[in-house]
Chain A
Amino acid sequence: MGKLLLKDKSIVVPGEDIASGMDYLPGYGTYRETEKIIANRLGLLSIEGRAVRVIPLSGQYIPKTGDVIISKVIDVSFSGWRIDTNSAYSAMLSLKDATSDFIARGSDLTRYFNVGDILVCKVINVTSQKLVDVTTKGLGLRKIKGGRVISVNANKVPRIIGKQDSMVGMIKQATGCKIIVGLNGLVWLEGLPEKELLAVNTIRMIEKESHLSGLTDRIKAFLEKETGNKITESKSE
Protein backbone atom coordinates (compact mmCIF):
# COMPACT_ATOMS: atom_id res chain seq x y z
CA MET A 1 0.00 0.00 0.00
CA GLY A 2 1.33 3.40 -0.96
CA LYS A 3 0.99 6.28 1.39
CA LEU A 4 1.56 9.99 0.99
CA LEU A 5 3.56 11.46 3.82
CA LEU A 6 3.08 15.11 2.89
CA LYS A 7 0.19 17.22 1.71
CA ASP A 8 -0.20 18.58 -1.82
CA LYS A 9 1.19 22.13 -2.19
CA SER A 10 3.50 21.86 0.80
CA ILE A 11 7.11 22.96 0.59
CA VAL A 12 9.65 20.17 0.39
CA VAL A 13 13.36 20.14 1.15
CA PRO A 14 16.02 17.87 -0.39
CA GLY A 15 16.10 14.50 1.34
CA GLU A 16 12.55 14.72 2.64
CA ASP A 17 10.33 11.64 2.25
CA ILE A 18 7.26 12.38 0.14
CA ALA A 19 5.58 9.01 -0.23
CA SER A 20 6.13 5.38 0.66
CA GLY A 21 5.17 2.30 -1.29
CA MET A 22 5.16 1.68 -5.03
CA ASP A 23 1.76 3.27 -5.80
CA TYR A 24 3.11 6.74 -6.51
CA LEU A 25 5.40 7.63 -9.39
CA PRO A 26 8.38 9.94 -8.99
CA GLY A 27 8.41 12.90 -11.39
CA TYR A 28 10.69 15.94 -11.74
CA GLY A 29 12.43 16.95 -8.53
CA THR A 30 11.94 13.55 -6.88
CA TYR A 31 13.52 10.14 -7.02
CA ARG A 32 12.82 6.65 -5.75
CA GLU A 33 15.07 5.02 -3.18
CA THR A 34 13.94 1.47 -2.34
CA GLU A 35 10.26 1.89 -1.38
CA LYS A 36 10.27 5.62 -0.77
CA ILE A 37 9.92 8.69 -2.96
CA ILE A 38 12.28 11.41 -1.84
CA ALA A 39 12.53 15.08 -2.81
CA ASN A 40 15.49 16.05 -4.92
CA ARG A 41 15.25 19.81 -4.62
CA LEU A 42 13.60 22.64 -2.77
CA GLY A 43 10.17 23.43 -4.14
CA LEU A 44 6.43 23.13 -4.01
CA LEU A 45 5.00 19.61 -3.95
CA SER A 46 2.50 18.86 -6.69
CA ILE A 47 0.47 15.68 -6.73
CA GLU A 48 -1.56 14.86 -9.81
CA GLY A 49 -3.18 11.46 -9.57
CA ARG A 50 -0.31 9.08 -8.95
CA ALA A 51 2.42 11.36 -10.26
CA VAL A 52 4.46 13.26 -7.71
CA ARG A 53 6.68 16.15 -8.71
CA VAL A 54 8.34 19.21 -7.23
CA ILE A 55 7.79 22.63 -8.77
CA PRO A 56 10.99 24.64 -8.34
CA LEU A 57 10.80 27.97 -6.52
CA SER A 58 14.36 29.06 -7.07
CA GLY A 59 17.27 28.36 -9.36
CA GLN A 60 18.96 29.53 -12.50
CA TYR A 61 17.41 29.45 -15.93
CA ILE A 62 18.51 26.63 -18.25
CA PRO A 63 17.96 27.22 -21.98
CA LYS A 64 15.29 25.00 -23.51
CA THR A 65 14.26 24.61 -27.15
CA GLY A 66 11.32 26.81 -28.07
CA ASP A 67 11.77 29.37 -25.29
CA VAL A 68 11.34 33.01 -26.22
CA ILE A 69 13.97 34.90 -24.26
CA ILE A 70 15.27 38.42 -23.82
CA SER A 71 19.00 38.58 -24.30
CA LYS A 72 21.91 40.85 -24.90
CA VAL A 73 24.53 40.81 -27.65
CA ILE A 74 27.95 40.33 -26.09
CA ASP A 75 30.15 39.76 -29.12
CA VAL A 76 30.13 40.05 -32.89
CA SER A 77 32.04 37.46 -34.89
CA PHE A 78 32.54 36.63 -38.57
CA SER A 79 29.49 34.47 -38.88
CA GLY A 80 27.11 35.78 -36.29
CA TRP A 81 26.63 37.11 -32.79
CA ARG A 82 27.26 35.76 -29.33
CA ILE A 83 24.32 36.32 -27.01
CA ASP A 84 24.06 36.40 -23.22
CA THR A 85 21.00 34.39 -22.20
CA ASN A 86 20.96 35.22 -18.49
CA SER A 87 22.03 31.65 -17.70
CA ALA A 88 25.27 29.72 -17.38
CA TYR A 89 25.42 29.30 -21.14
CA SER A 90 25.76 31.92 -23.85
CA ALA A 91 24.03 31.40 -27.17
CA MET A 92 25.04 31.75 -30.82
CA LEU A 93 22.95 33.70 -33.26
CA SER A 94 24.17 32.77 -36.74
CA LEU A 95 23.68 34.92 -39.83
CA LYS A 96 21.16 32.64 -41.41
CA ASP A 97 19.01 32.64 -38.28
CA ALA A 98 19.27 36.39 -37.85
CA THR A 99 17.90 37.80 -41.07
CA SER A 100 16.68 36.88 -44.54
CA ASP A 101 18.74 39.68 -46.14
CA PHE A 102 21.64 38.83 -48.39
CA ILE A 103 24.82 39.65 -46.52
CA ALA A 104 28.01 39.84 -48.55
CA ARG A 105 31.10 38.16 -47.18
CA GLY A 106 33.08 40.51 -45.01
CA SER A 107 30.33 43.07 -44.55
CA ASP A 108 29.83 44.89 -41.29
CA LEU A 109 27.54 42.85 -39.08
CA THR A 110 27.10 45.64 -36.54
CA ARG A 111 24.66 47.20 -39.01
CA TYR A 112 22.20 44.56 -37.84
CA PHE A 113 23.06 44.00 -34.20
CA ASN A 114 25.81 45.60 -32.19
CA VAL A 115 27.33 44.73 -28.84
CA GLY A 116 24.96 45.74 -26.07
CA ASP A 117 21.78 45.49 -28.12
CA ILE A 118 18.81 43.80 -26.49
CA LEU A 119 17.07 41.16 -28.57
CA VAL A 120 13.90 39.15 -28.27
CA CYS A 121 14.90 35.79 -29.66
CA LYS A 122 13.86 32.19 -29.63
CA VAL A 123 15.96 29.18 -28.67
CA ILE A 124 16.00 26.77 -31.61
CA ASN A 125 18.47 24.17 -30.47
CA VAL A 126 20.22 23.08 -27.28
CA THR A 127 22.83 20.31 -27.39
CA SER A 128 23.75 17.95 -24.59
CA GLN A 129 26.76 20.16 -23.93
CA LYS A 130 24.43 23.14 -23.66
CA LEU A 131 25.53 24.84 -26.84
CA VAL A 132 22.61 27.08 -27.61
CA ASP A 133 21.38 28.38 -30.96
CA VAL A 134 18.85 31.20 -31.18
CA THR A 135 16.94 32.88 -33.95
CA THR A 136 15.46 36.32 -34.51
CA LYS A 137 13.39 35.20 -37.48
CA GLY A 138 9.78 34.82 -36.42
CA LEU A 139 6.76 36.65 -35.14
CA GLY A 140 7.68 39.29 -32.59
CA LEU A 141 11.36 38.40 -32.58
CA ARG A 142 13.50 41.49 -33.06
CA LYS A 143 15.88 44.00 -31.60
CA ILE A 144 14.24 46.21 -28.99
CA LYS A 145 14.93 49.87 -28.41
CA GLY A 146 14.15 51.99 -25.39
CA GLY A 147 12.24 50.85 -22.33
CA ARG A 148 13.89 48.96 -19.54
CA VAL A 149 14.79 45.41 -18.71
CA ILE A 150 14.25 44.02 -15.22
CA SER A 151 15.40 40.69 -13.92
CA VAL A 152 13.01 38.32 -12.14
CA ASN A 153 13.20 34.79 -10.79
CA ALA A 154 13.04 32.59 -13.89
CA ASN A 155 10.88 30.03 -12.08
CA LYS A 156 8.13 32.59 -11.54
CA VAL A 157 7.85 33.58 -15.20
CA PRO A 158 4.91 31.23 -15.93
CA ARG A 159 2.97 32.98 -13.16
CA ILE A 160 3.85 36.43 -14.48
CA ILE A 161 2.55 35.40 -17.89
CA GLY A 162 -0.51 33.61 -16.50
CA LYS A 163 -2.87 31.26 -18.29
CA GLN A 164 -3.03 32.35 -21.93
CA ASP A 165 -1.22 35.58 -21.08
CA SER A 166 -4.01 36.55 -18.65
CA MET A 167 -1.73 38.03 -15.99
CA VAL A 168 0.57 40.00 -18.24
CA GLY A 169 -2.45 41.04 -20.32
CA MET A 170 -4.03 42.46 -17.20
CA ILE A 171 -0.90 44.48 -16.36
CA LYS A 172 -0.68 45.75 -19.93
CA GLN A 173 -4.30 46.82 -19.82
CA ALA A 174 -4.03 48.54 -16.48
CA THR A 175 -0.75 50.36 -17.08
CA GLY A 176 -0.73 50.82 -20.84
CA CYS A 177 2.87 49.61 -20.95
CA LYS A 178 4.36 47.42 -23.61
CA ILE A 179 5.67 44.33 -21.89
CA ILE A 180 7.65 41.37 -23.15
CA VAL A 181 8.32 38.57 -20.69
CA GLY A 182 11.34 36.41 -21.55
CA LEU A 183 11.31 32.87 -20.22
CA ASN A 184 14.90 33.38 -19.04
CA GLY A 185 13.73 35.72 -16.29
CA LEU A 186 14.21 39.05 -18.03
CA VAL A 187 11.22 41.32 -18.58
CA TRP A 188 11.25 44.28 -20.93
CA LEU A 189 8.79 47.09 -20.42
CA GLU A 190 8.14 50.49 -21.91
CA GLY A 191 5.51 53.07 -21.09
CA LEU A 192 4.97 56.26 -19.14
CA PRO A 193 7.50 56.47 -16.30
CA GLU A 194 4.98 56.21 -13.45
CA LYS A 195 3.07 53.44 -15.23
CA GLU A 196 6.31 51.61 -15.85
CA LEU A 197 7.03 51.79 -12.14
CA LEU A 198 3.59 50.42 -11.32
CA ALA A 199 4.11 47.56 -13.74
CA VAL A 200 7.48 46.77 -12.13
CA ASN A 201 5.92 46.82 -8.67
CA THR A 202 3.14 44.50 -9.82
CA ILE A 203 5.65 42.07 -11.28
CA ARG A 204 7.66 42.13 -8.05
CA MET A 205 4.46 41.37 -6.13
CA ILE A 206 3.67 38.40 -8.38
CA GLU A 207 7.22 37.16 -7.95
CA LYS A 208 6.91 37.28 -4.19
CA GLU A 209 3.47 35.72 -3.85
CA SER A 210 3.43 33.37 -6.81
CA HIS A 211 3.17 30.17 -4.78
CA LEU A 212 0.02 31.29 -2.95
CA SER A 213 -3.50 30.71 -4.17
CA GLY A 214 -5.84 33.50 -5.31
CA LEU A 215 -3.00 35.40 -6.94
CA THR A 216 -4.93 36.71 -9.95
CA ASP A 217 -7.66 38.23 -7.78
CA ARG A 218 -5.15 39.92 -5.53
CA ILE A 219 -3.19 41.37 -8.43
CA LYS A 220 -6.42 42.56 -10.01
CA ALA A 221 -7.48 44.29 -6.81
CA PHE A 222 -4.02 45.82 -6.46
CA LEU A 223 -4.03 47.20 -10.00
CA GLU A 224 -7.58 48.55 -9.68
CA LYS A 225 -6.66 50.31 -6.47
CA GLU A 226 -3.50 51.82 -7.93
CA THR A 227 -4.98 53.00 -11.21
CA GLY A 228 -8.53 53.71 -10.04
CA ASN A 229 -9.90 52.03 -13.15
CA LYS A 230 -11.92 48.88 -13.41
CA ILE A 231 -10.24 46.02 -15.24
CA THR A 232 -12.48 44.37 -17.75
CA GLU A 233 -12.19 40.65 -18.10
CA SER A 234 -10.73 40.02 -21.52
CA LYS A 235 -10.99 36.37 -22.46
CA SER A 236 -7.88 35.14 -24.29
CA GLU A 237 -6.64 37.72 -26.73
Chain B
Amino acid sequence: MAKHSQAIGRYVTIQVDELEYEVFYLRNGQGEPLVCQHGAGSHNHQWRGLLEDSEITRRYDVIAYDLAYHGKSDPPANHKWWENEYRLTADHFSKFVLRFCDALNIERPIFMGASFGGNLALQLARYHGERFRAVLPIGAMDYSPGFHQEIWRDPRANPAHAFPAALWDSMAPQSPERDRWLALHHASQGAAAFHGDLYFYSVDHDLRDELHNIDSRTCPIVLMSGTYDYLAPPEAVENFARKIPGSVFIEMDGLGHLPMAENYPAFRRYLLEALKVVEHKSRVGAV
Protein backbone atom coordinates (compact mmCIF):
# COMPACT_ATOMS: atom_id res chain seq x y z
CA MET B 1 0.00 0.00 0.00
CA ALA B 2 1.50 3.35 -1.03
CA LYS B 3 1.97 5.93 1.69
CA HIS B 4 0.31 9.19 0.70
CA SER B 5 0.43 12.49 2.51
CA GLN B 6 -2.92 13.91 3.54
CA ALA B 7 -1.88 17.29 2.12
CA ILE B 8 -3.19 18.05 -1.35
CA GLY B 9 -1.37 20.42 -3.71
CA ARG B 10 -3.24 22.67 -6.17
CA TYR B 11 -2.77 25.78 -8.26
CA VAL B 12 -5.01 28.83 -8.21
CA THR B 13 -4.69 31.87 -10.48
CA ILE B 14 -4.83 35.30 -8.88
CA GLN B 15 -4.42 38.87 -10.07
CA VAL B 16 -2.28 41.28 -8.02
CA ASP B 17 -1.61 44.81 -9.30
CA GLU B 18 -2.26 43.66 -12.91
CA LEU B 19 0.14 40.75 -12.49
CA GLU B 20 -1.23 37.25 -12.96
CA TYR B 21 0.17 34.55 -10.69
CA GLU B 22 -0.46 30.83 -10.70
CA VAL B 23 -0.08 30.13 -7.03
CA PHE B 24 0.76 26.69 -5.70
CA TYR B 25 -0.53 25.74 -2.27
CA LEU B 26 -0.67 22.71 -0.02
CA ARG B 27 -3.78 22.15 2.04
CA ASN B 28 -4.91 19.75 4.72
CA GLY B 29 -7.51 19.90 7.48
CA GLN B 30 -10.91 21.27 8.31
CA GLY B 31 -12.38 24.08 10.35
CA GLU B 32 -10.78 27.45 10.98
CA PRO B 33 -8.55 28.47 8.04
CA LEU B 34 -4.88 28.89 8.98
CA VAL B 35 -2.92 30.49 6.13
CA CYS B 36 0.86 30.09 6.30
CA GLN B 37 3.69 32.10 4.72
CA HIS B 38 7.18 30.59 4.45
CA GLY B 39 10.46 32.45 5.04
CA ALA B 40 12.43 34.47 2.47
CA GLY B 41 13.90 32.51 -0.44
CA SER B 42 12.19 29.31 0.63
CA HIS B 43 8.86 27.57 0.01
CA ASN B 44 5.94 25.84 1.65
CA HIS B 45 7.78 22.65 2.64
CA GLN B 46 8.84 24.65 5.66
CA TRP B 47 5.32 23.86 6.93
CA ARG B 48 5.48 20.12 6.25
CA GLY B 49 5.24 19.18 9.94
CA LEU B 50 2.21 21.38 10.49
CA LEU B 51 0.45 20.07 7.37
CA GLU B 52 0.73 16.51 8.75
CA ASP B 53 -0.17 17.30 12.36
CA SER B 54 -3.55 15.67 12.92
CA GLU B 55 -4.14 17.42 16.24
CA ILE B 56 -4.03 20.71 14.32
CA THR B 57 -5.65 19.62 11.06
CA ARG B 58 -8.75 18.18 12.73
CA ARG B 59 -9.57 21.71 13.92
CA TYR B 60 -7.78 23.92 11.40
CA ASP B 61 -7.80 24.08 7.61
CA VAL B 62 -4.05 24.51 7.07
CA ILE B 63 -3.15 26.24 3.80
CA ALA B 64 0.53 26.82 3.00
CA TYR B 65 1.18 28.61 -0.28
CA ASP B 66 4.34 29.39 -2.20
CA LEU B 67 4.79 33.10 -2.75
CA ALA B 68 5.36 34.01 -6.42
CA TYR B 69 8.98 33.42 -7.49
CA HIS B 70 9.26 30.72 -4.81
CA GLY B 71 8.84 26.95 -4.86
CA LYS B 72 6.24 25.95 -7.44
CA SER B 73 4.71 29.44 -7.79
CA ASP B 74 6.32 30.96 -10.86
CA PRO B 75 6.92 34.64 -11.58
CA PRO B 76 3.93 36.39 -13.22
CA ALA B 77 2.53 34.72 -16.32
CA ASN B 78 1.57 37.97 -18.09
CA HIS B 79 4.71 40.05 -17.60
CA LYS B 80 8.31 40.07 -18.86
CA TRP B 81 9.65 39.59 -15.35
CA TRP B 82 13.10 38.72 -16.72
CA GLU B 83 13.43 42.33 -17.88
CA ASN B 84 12.75 43.74 -14.42
CA GLU B 85 14.48 43.42 -11.11
CA TYR B 86 12.44 41.47 -8.58
CA ARG B 87 11.80 43.70 -5.56
CA LEU B 88 9.06 42.71 -3.17
CA THR B 89 7.17 45.57 -1.54
CA ALA B 90 4.99 45.50 1.56
CA ASP B 91 1.97 46.63 -0.46
CA HIS B 92 2.31 43.99 -3.18
CA PHE B 93 3.09 41.25 -0.66
CA SER B 94 0.02 42.15 1.39
CA LYS B 95 -2.22 42.25 -1.67
CA PHE B 96 -0.86 38.86 -2.74
CA VAL B 97 -2.18 37.32 0.48
CA LEU B 98 -5.52 39.15 0.27
CA ARG B 99 -6.12 38.10 -3.36
CA PHE B 100 -5.08 34.53 -2.55
CA CYS B 101 -7.60 34.37 0.31
CA ASP B 102 -10.26 35.90 -1.97
CA ALA B 103 -9.59 33.27 -4.63
CA LEU B 104 -10.06 30.45 -2.11
CA ASN B 105 -13.13 32.15 -0.58
CA ILE B 106 -11.42 32.25 2.78
CA GLU B 107 -12.94 34.80 5.13
CA ARG B 108 -10.98 36.07 8.13
CA PRO B 109 -8.34 33.35 8.37
CA ILE B 110 -5.64 33.18 10.98
CA PHE B 111 -2.43 34.23 9.24
CA MET B 112 0.90 32.80 10.37
CA GLY B 113 4.23 33.78 8.87
CA ALA B 114 7.86 33.22 9.73
CA SER B 115 10.84 35.53 9.27
CA PHE B 116 9.84 37.92 6.45
CA GLY B 117 6.43 36.22 6.64
CA GLY B 118 6.34 37.31 10.27
CA ASN B 119 7.09 40.87 9.25
CA LEU B 120 4.26 40.58 6.73
CA ALA B 121 1.91 39.37 9.48
CA LEU B 122 2.55 42.68 11.27
CA GLN B 123 1.84 44.61 8.06
CA LEU B 124 -1.44 42.72 7.61
CA ALA B 125 -2.45 43.41 11.20
CA ARG B 126 -1.68 47.12 10.79
CA TYR B 127 -3.30 47.80 7.42
CA HIS B 128 -5.76 44.95 6.86
CA GLY B 129 -6.60 43.74 10.37
CA GLU B 130 -10.31 43.49 9.63
CA ARG B 131 -9.55 40.76 7.08
CA PHE B 132 -7.94 38.40 9.63
CA ARG B 133 -9.19 36.61 12.71
CA ALA B 134 -5.68 36.81 14.12
CA VAL B 135 -2.03 36.94 13.06
CA LEU B 136 0.84 34.88 14.44
CA PRO B 137 4.17 36.54 13.55
CA ILE B 138 7.15 34.21 14.12
CA GLY B 139 10.68 35.63 14.29
CA ALA B 140 9.28 39.00 13.24
CA MET B 141 10.62 42.49 13.84
CA ASP B 142 8.99 45.89 13.49
CA TYR B 143 12.09 46.89 11.49
CA SER B 144 14.93 44.66 10.23
CA PRO B 145 17.51 46.91 8.55
CA GLY B 146 20.83 45.95 7.01
CA PHE B 147 20.16 42.74 5.11
CA HIS B 148 19.35 44.02 1.60
CA GLN B 149 22.97 43.66 0.52
CA GLU B 150 24.61 43.21 -2.88
CA ILE B 151 26.52 40.20 -1.59
CA TRP B 152 23.33 38.10 -1.94
CA ARG B 153 23.57 38.41 -5.73
CA ASP B 154 27.33 38.84 -6.13
CA PRO B 155 28.50 36.11 -8.53
CA ARG B 156 31.85 35.94 -6.71
CA ALA B 157 29.96 34.77 -3.64
CA ASN B 158 27.79 32.12 -5.35
CA PRO B 159 24.37 33.20 -4.02
CA ALA B 160 22.90 29.70 -4.28
CA HIS B 161 25.50 28.63 -1.76
CA ALA B 162 25.92 31.76 0.36
CA PHE B 163 22.27 32.36 1.22
CA PRO B 164 21.43 28.88 2.53
CA ALA B 165 24.77 28.67 4.35
CA ALA B 166 24.02 31.98 6.06
CA LEU B 167 20.76 30.55 7.38
CA TRP B 168 22.55 27.82 9.32
CA ASP B 169 23.24 29.70 12.52
CA SER B 170 19.85 31.39 12.53
CA MET B 171 18.65 27.97 13.68
CA ALA B 172 19.18 26.42 17.09
CA PRO B 173 22.08 23.95 17.36
CA GLN B 174 19.78 21.53 19.22
CA SER B 175 17.31 21.33 16.32
CA PRO B 176 17.49 18.00 14.46
CA GLU B 177 20.33 17.90 11.94
CA ARG B 178 18.14 16.50 9.18
CA ASP B 179 15.61 19.33 9.46
CA ARG B 180 18.28 22.01 9.51
CA TRP B 181 19.83 20.56 6.36
CA LEU B 182 16.41 20.47 4.72
CA ALA B 183 15.95 24.15 5.56
CA LEU B 184 19.19 24.83 3.68
CA HIS B 185 18.14 22.61 0.81
CA HIS B 186 14.85 24.49 0.41
CA ALA B 187 16.64 27.84 0.63
CA SER B 188 19.14 26.84 -2.06
CA GLN B 189 16.17 26.54 -4.45
CA GLY B 190 15.08 30.14 -3.88
CA ALA B 191 18.38 31.98 -3.82
CA ALA B 192 17.48 34.01 -6.93
CA ALA B 193 14.53 35.57 -5.10
CA PHE B 194 16.32 36.16 -1.81
CA HIS B 195 17.79 39.57 -2.62
CA GLY B 196 14.39 40.86 -3.80
CA ASP B 197 12.67 39.37 -0.74
CA LEU B 198 15.07 41.27 1.46
CA TYR B 199 13.98 44.54 -0.11
CA PHE B 200 10.71 43.99 1.73
CA TYR B 201 12.36 42.55 4.84
CA SER B 202 15.00 45.23 5.35
CA VAL B 203 13.92 48.32 3.39
CA ASP B 204 10.18 48.59 2.74
CA HIS B 205 9.02 47.08 6.02
CA ASP B 206 9.25 49.63 8.81
CA LEU B 207 6.46 49.76 11.38
CA ARG B 208 8.36 51.45 14.18
CA ASP B 209 6.03 54.45 14.16
CA GLU B 210 2.89 52.42 13.51
CA LEU B 211 2.89 49.84 16.29
CA HIS B 212 0.47 51.78 18.49
CA ASN B 213 -1.95 51.92 15.55
CA ILE B 214 -2.27 48.14 15.33
CA ASP B 215 -5.71 47.20 16.62
CA SER B 216 -5.26 43.86 18.37
CA ARG B 217 -8.95 43.83 19.43
CA THR B 218 -9.98 43.53 15.79
CA CYS B 219 -7.05 41.28 14.93
CA PRO B 220 -5.42 39.54 17.91
CA ILE B 221 -1.63 39.22 17.65
CA VAL B 222 0.47 36.52 19.23
CA LEU B 223 4.19 37.02 18.55
CA MET B 224 6.65 34.15 18.94
CA SER B 225 10.43 34.24 19.08
CA GLY B 226 13.00 31.51 19.72
CA THR B 227 15.84 31.95 22.19
CA TYR B 228 18.40 31.18 19.44
CA ASP B 229 16.85 33.66 16.99
CA TYR B 230 19.53 36.35 16.68
CA LEU B 231 17.56 38.04 13.87
CA ALA B 232 14.52 38.59 16.09
CA PRO B 233 15.79 37.98 19.63
CA PRO B 234 13.11 37.44 22.30
CA GLU B 235 14.09 40.57 24.21
CA ALA B 236 13.82 42.77 21.10
CA VAL B 237 10.50 41.23 20.05
CA GLU B 238 9.07 41.59 23.54
CA ASN B 239 10.19 45.23 23.58
CA PHE B 240 8.40 46.22 20.38
CA ALA B 241 5.41 44.01 21.23
CA ARG B 242 4.84 46.19 24.31
CA LYS B 243 4.01 49.03 21.92
CA ILE B 244 1.16 47.01 20.36
CA PRO B 245 -1.68 47.30 22.86
CA GLY B 246 -3.16 43.90 23.73
CA SER B 247 -0.55 41.83 21.88
CA VAL B 248 0.77 38.61 23.42
CA PHE B 249 4.38 37.45 23.30
CA ILE B 250 5.56 33.84 23.61
CA GLU B 251 9.25 32.99 24.03
CA MET B 252 10.21 29.63 22.53
CA ASP B 253 12.98 27.92 24.42
CA GLY B 254 15.74 26.24 22.39
CA LEU B 255 14.40 27.27 18.98
CA GLY B 256 15.74 29.58 16.28
CA HIS B 257 14.45 31.76 13.46
CA LEU B 258 12.63 29.01 11.50
CA PRO B 259 11.05 26.92 14.26
CA MET B 260 8.34 25.28 12.13
CA ALA B 261 11.01 24.02 9.72
CA GLU B 262 13.96 23.32 12.00
CA ASN B 263 12.14 21.54 14.83
CA TYR B 264 8.39 21.13 14.37
CA PRO B 265 7.87 18.82 17.40
CA ALA B 266 9.33 21.50 19.69
CA PHE B 267 7.52 24.34 17.90
CA ARG B 268 4.05 22.78 17.98
CA ARG B 269 3.56 23.15 21.73
CA TYR B 270 4.09 26.90 21.41
CA LEU B 271 1.80 27.02 18.40
CA LEU B 272 -0.94 25.19 20.32
CA GLU B 273 -0.50 27.74 23.11
CA ALA B 274 -0.76 30.61 20.58
CA LEU B 275 -3.92 29.13 19.03
CA LYS B 276 -5.44 28.83 22.51
CA VAL B 277 -4.74 32.52 23.07
CA VAL B 278 -6.47 33.32 19.76
CA GLU B 279 -9.52 31.23 20.74
CA HIS B 280 -9.69 32.91 24.13
CA LYS B 281 -9.33 36.40 22.68
CA SER B 282 -11.98 35.67 20.06
CA ARG B 283 -14.42 34.52 22.78
CA VAL B 284 -13.69 37.52 24.97
CA GLY B 285 -13.91 39.86 21.96
CA ALA B 286 -17.28 38.39 21.00
CA VAL B 287 -18.83 39.11 24.40
The finding on whether chains A and B are genuine partners in a shared complex, rather than unrelated, reads: no
Residues in chain B within 8 A of chain A (CB atoms)? none
